[in-house]
Amino acid sequence: MKRSKIYLITTIILSSLVFNGCTNLDEEVYDKLPVGEFGGTEKEINALIAPIYRTLKGVFPSNFFLLSECSSDMAITPTRKGGDWWDGGQYKELRLHTWTPNTVIPRNAYNSAFTSITSCNKIFSLINENENIENKEQILAEIRGVRAYWYYLLLDNFGNVPIVTDFSDTQLPTTKSRKEVYDFVLKELNEIKDVVRDDVTSASYGKVTKGFVYTLLGKMYLNAMVWNPDGGAKWQETVDACNVVMTLPYILEPNWKDNFSVQNQTSQEVIFPIIYSTADGGNGLPQRTLHYLDPIALGLNIGANNGLSAMPGYVKAFDDDDKRKLGSFLIGPMTDPATGQTLITAHNRPLIHTVDIDMKYNIDGDGWGQTEQEDGARAAKWEFEKGLNGDSENDFAIFRLADVYLMKAEALVRMGVDNVEATRLVNEIRKRAFDDPSKLKTNVTLEDIYQERRFEFAWEGTTRQDMIRFGKFLDPIPGWKKATAEKYLIFPIPTTALDANPSLTQNPGY
């Protein structure tokens, strides 16, 4: 009896000890921050806002860039001899306009846009709820500006997409029409245009500023007939928006190449850049475009993949005297500095980048075939940094002043007013490109402006939008593609997005 009593006590002691002392299962976190313990100081708040700008790294030279240049007649990722860059035919689909809701690049672009928008919404709500912030209204406007840019990309490329602005809303969103998206972006821009900072300084570089918002407004108005045809033309609004930007202290850099140099953050032409650094993930265009052996010739320490090339027709349209031709494209023999000889490819051919791209092996029924490794002019617009190891530092200008000049010129010509001013604006651009004054225009036409945009903005992610606005996007490209159906003016909503959210609607025709 006595013994069992003691056992009972033992058991009680043991179990009480156990239940009280050691059933605590909270996690102690060491290398991450629990939400709620961050965002109290200005430094912390800046660190929280920063990801909205980091999202932009997904634009160039990434999916939206490829959507623009490889679906228009600017660029191509040809399948090389042996099958390099075949990749399931995704680049062929962009080139031939045969993409589907499963095509990889539009899918990745769509996902990157919504991931970025949701990040913006989350950061918006964090800032909005934070009591410690003084200039809250301006910070919120900054976030809305970046979000509006992402919606602008979706509006341009996908048209009909859901609009989500509240992170706390956990409902699966439904598709909104292109008109609604257009109106939403316009409303957002109009609400923030006088709230955001209006300086043009080294401190405002890479930030949402008045210059950025008005340039984006200009783009909205310029493309209004495409995106919201029922709303009518907005040419005067385009001119007005451009005029605001032109009153700000941006200048056309006298040396055009300064916009693309390694240290191009000093360019005063840049209105809104994506800022890159080798250390933090950067501009990977050289890897994408250069041949495996090009880095030897160019003195780079990178592994290149021999992908992206310029479409022959695009390059051939350049005037040989136009400095922008060799300023944009890598053409000709590539020399091994050690031997002075032209490098030799694995197919035992001299590494000479031709403008022409010749599909001569393994031709499919749709005409698609393999080209020689060395075919095609490569992207060389951004200065190659000697000894580069990794991604390059060169920032990418989403908007720069030259674009605003040509936007205004285009709107003026389309309205049929003030051709003198339009011609002056175009010539301001051409002056940098030619030493010979006879190359300047006297009376610009719409076609002149279209062509000028192509010379000025090769590889800058504007070609598709321009071709659609000028009604040329679906046209055949002799030797490359037939005329294509109207549905290809926007991309399909990816299957993965429809699977994850059954409330979405597919774009017409897909």
Partner 1 sequence: MILSTNNPNFRIFMQIGTCVLLILFLNIPLYASSAAFPIRGTVLDINGEPLIGVSVTEKGVNNATSTDNNGQFSLEVANENSILVFSYLGFSELEVSINGRATLNVTLIEDTQALEEVVVIGYGTQSRRNISGSITNVSEEDFNQGVNRTATDLLQGKVAGLTITKGSGDITNEQTIRLRGTSSLTGSSQPFVVIDGVPGLSMNSVAPQDIESISILKDASAAAIYGSRAASGVILITTKKGIESRPMIEYEGYAAVDRVANIPKVLSADQWRDYTSSHDINTEGIDRGANTSWFDEIMRTGVSQSHSLSMSGGGKSSTYRGSFSALDQQGVVRDNSMERYNGRLMFSQRALDDRLNLTFVGAITERNFSPTDTRNFVLAYNMVPVAPVKNDDGTWFDTQEYDQGNPLRNITYNKRDNKNSLFYGNIKADFNITEDFVAGISLLKQRESNDYGEYNDSQTERGRNDQGFAKRETWTADKRLLEATLNYKKIFDEHNFNFLAGYSYEDNYYQKNGAQNRQFVTDFFDYDNLGAGENLRPSDVWSEANMNKLISFFGRVNYVLQDRYTLTASIRRDGSSKFGANHKWGTFPAVSAAWILKEEGFLKDKDFFSDLKLRAGYGVSGNQAGFDPYRSLQLYGKSGQYYDDGKWYNAYQISQNANPNLKWEETSMFNVGIDYSILNNRLSGTIEYYSKETNDLLYTYKVSVPPYLYSDMLANVGSMTNKGIELVINGDIIRKDELVWNASFNLAHNKNRITSLSNDQFTTNSIKTGSAWIRGGSDNTTHIVEEGREVGTFYGWRFISLDSDGKYILDEMVDGKEGLTDEDRTYIGSAQPKLTYGFSSNLSYKNFDFGFFLRGVYGNDLLNFSRMSYATTQWLPGANVLEDALTNGLTDNPKYSSYYIEKGSFLRLDNATLAYNFDTGDVWGIRKFRVYVTGQNLFTITNYTGLDPEVQMSGLDPGVEGREYYPKTRTFSVGVNLSF
The residues in 372-401 that bind partner 1, with binding defined as CB under 8 A, are: 389
Among 275, 331, 352, 474, binds partner 1 (CB under 8 A): 275
Binding of partner 1 by 497 (CB under 8 A) = yes
Per-residue buried b or exposed e for 456-478, using 16+ beta carbons within 10 Å of the residue's own CB: bbbbbbbbbbbbbbeeebbeebe
Q: Which is closer to partner 1, CB of 370 or CB of 462? A: 370
- C-beta neighbour count of 329 within 10 angstroms: 24
- Gyration radius of the chain's alpha carbons: 27
- Contact assessment for residue 146 and residue 52, using Cβ atoms and an 8 Å cutoff: yes
Of the candidates 59, 76, 117, 195, which one interacts with partner 1 according to CB under 8 A? 117
CA distance 205 to 272: 7
Please select the residue that binds partner 1; options are 370, 427, 463, 507, rule is CB under 8 A. 370
* Minimum separation from the CB atom of position 495 to partner 1 (A): 9
Evaluate the CA torsion angle 65, 50, 251, 393 in order and state its sign.
Answer: negative
**Count of residues touching partner 1 (by CB under 8 A):** 100
Q: Which of 137, 280, 321, 486 binds partner 1 (CB under 8 A)?
A: 280
Residues 122-181 that bind partner 1 (CB under 8 A): 122, 162, 164, 167, 169-173
DSSP 159: -
Q: Which of residues 76-105 bind partner 1 (CB under 8 A)?
A: 79-90, 100, 102, 104
Nearer to partner 1, 249 or 502 (CB): 502
Instruction: Name which of 9 and 420 has its Cβ closer to partner 1.
Output: 9
CB of 141 to partner 1, least distance (A): 17
- Does residue 54 belong to the site contacting partner 1 (CB under 8 A)? yes
Considering beta carbons, is residue 161 or 411 the nearer one to partner 1? 161
**Coil, helix or strand for 59?**
coil
Q: Which position among 1, 279, 483, 485 is part of the footprint of partner 1 (CB under 8 A)?
A: 279
Mask: binding to partner 1, 6-35, rule CB under 8 A, as x and -? xx--x--xx--xx--xxxxxxxxxxxxxxx
Stretch that binds partner 1, among 75-83, 190-198, 243-251, 451-459 (CB under 8 A): 75-83
CA atoms within 13 A on the CB side of 409: 28
Closest CB to partner 1 among 269 and 452?
269
**Within its chain, how far is the Cα of 18 from the centroid?**
58
Cα separation of the two ends of the chain = 84
Tell me the C-alpha distance between 231 and 241, whole Å: 17
Query: 485 in the Ramachandran plot: left (φ > 0), alpha (ψ -120 to 50) or beta?
Result: beta
How far is the C-alpha of 475 from the C-alpha of 47, rounded, in Å? 47
Say which DSSP state 212 is in.
Answer: H
Query: How is residue 224 written in tokens?
Result: 């209004």
Instruction: Give the integer Cα–Cα distance in Å for 213 and 404.
Output: 12
Site for partner 1 in 198-217 (CB under 8 A): 202-203, 205-206
Interacting residues with partner 1 between 229 and 268 (CB under 8 A): 265
Does residue 114 belong to the site contacting partner 1 (CB under 8 A)?
yes
Is residue 295 a contact residue for partner 1 (CB under 8 A)?
Answer: yes
Smaller CB distance to partner 1: residue 46 or 247? 46
- Return the residue of 42, 135, 263, 344 that touches partner 1, per CB under 8 A: 344
- DSSP letter (8 states) at residue 388: -
